[in-house]
Amino acid sequence: MPEPRNTTGTSPERAGGGLRPASPESPTIWSDHVDAVRIVLQVLLVLSSMVLTLFILLHKGKGGGLSDMFGGGMSTSLGGSSVAERNLDRFTVAVAAVWAASIIGLGLLARFAS
């Protein structure tokens, strides 16, 4: 009787996929890296949330807000914002971008790493 032919295109020892998924008892290097990235993104999210809250509270509103308490209301310029206020705007946007990137990164990890 002839031996059955291998029609899968793989060698007999690799038949059946060859790469088995890791069991929960044996974590892989991949899962270690994913855990490290997740921890870094979570720390970055917490820090950027606190800094973003602080920067938003320091902005000068119609009534001055908390920025008056720290001397931010001292500068009066006619028709334009001060250099400090523009720099605070830039820093706030930069921290908001870091915050949004960490949210998106954590969402992608939750979606694809599990």
Per-residue pLDDT reduced to its tens digit, 3-41: 656 555 555 544 554 455 555 555 666 778 888 999 999
Q: Is the pLDDT of residue 51 over 60?
A: yes
Task: Note down the domain range covering 97.
Answer: 45-62+80-114
5 burial via Cβ count (<10 Å: 0-12, 13-18, 19+)? exposed
Q: Where are the beta strands (DSSP E) in the chain?
A: none
Residue 51 lies in a domain: yes
Residue 2 lies in a domain: no
Domain count, the chain: 1
CA distance linking residue 26 with residue 35, whole number of Å: 15
Residue 58 lies in a domain: yes
Residue 97 lies in a domain: yes
pTM above 0.75, yes or no: no
